[in-house]
């Protein structure tokens, strides 16, 4: 009996260590933005203050589905968006919380603009680097 209990406990600990949290775009909307001046680039930028539910996801493995936007093929820059390109943050249809920067492995598959894809990876929150998105999915791979 004790052996069975230990086996079950070991399985639960192991399964929890490798679990990922499914999130959606509503989850990522727990953020407020303040327009602040950046001396570095002499311009105003939105700087985030993440809510508690988003802060709890920092450095966690997550799964999220969205539209792939190819920003710069030559430099392999892709964004995952809550909306297709015509309605994305860059086109005025949403805010910075509606995109996630994808850090893909070198051998990743090619994606078409507005292709709907589910990714898994480690979510990183960025509140200071104006050259990156506020949400970054590191080691992003297609999730089936």
- Is 47 a residue whose pLDDT tops 60? yes
- Is 109 a residue whose pLDDT tops 70? yes
Instruction: Give pTM, 2 decimals.
Output: 0.84
- Is 119 a residue whose pLDDT tops 90? yes
Q: What is the pLDDT of residue 94?
A: 87
Alpha carbon distance 114, 135 (integer Å): 19
Please, are residues 30 and 91 in contact by the beta-carbon 8 Å criterion?
Answer: no
Binned at pLDDT 50, 70 and 90, residue 74 comes out as confident
- Is 12 a residue whose pLDDT tops 90? no
Closest CA to 111 of 83, 75, 69: 69
Closest CA to 60 of 142, 128, 15, 121: 121
For the chain, which domains are there? 19-142 (2.40.50.870)
Region 134-144: what's the mean pLDDT?
A: 97
Q: What is the pLDDT of residue 3?
A: 58
Alpha carbon distance 30, 65 (integer Å): 17
């Amino acid at each position: 009996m004790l052996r069975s209990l230990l086996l079950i406990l070991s399985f639960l600990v192991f399964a929890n260590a490798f679990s990922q949290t499914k999130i959606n775009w509503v989850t990522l909307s727990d953020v407020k933005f303040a327009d602040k001046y950046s001396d570095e680039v002499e311009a105003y930028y939105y700087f985030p203050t993440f809510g508690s539910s988003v802060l709890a996801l920092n450095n966690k493995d997550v799964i999220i589905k969205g539209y792939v936007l190819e920003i710069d093929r030559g430099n392999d820059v892709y964004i995952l968006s809550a909306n297709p390109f015509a309605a994305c943050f860059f086109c005025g249809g949403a805010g910075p919380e509606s995109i996630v920067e994808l850090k893909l492995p070198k051998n990743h598959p090619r994606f078409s603009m507005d292709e709907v894809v589910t990714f898994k990876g480690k979510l990183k929150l960025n509140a200071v680097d104006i050259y990156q998105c506020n949400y970054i999915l590191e080691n992003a791979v297609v999730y089936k």
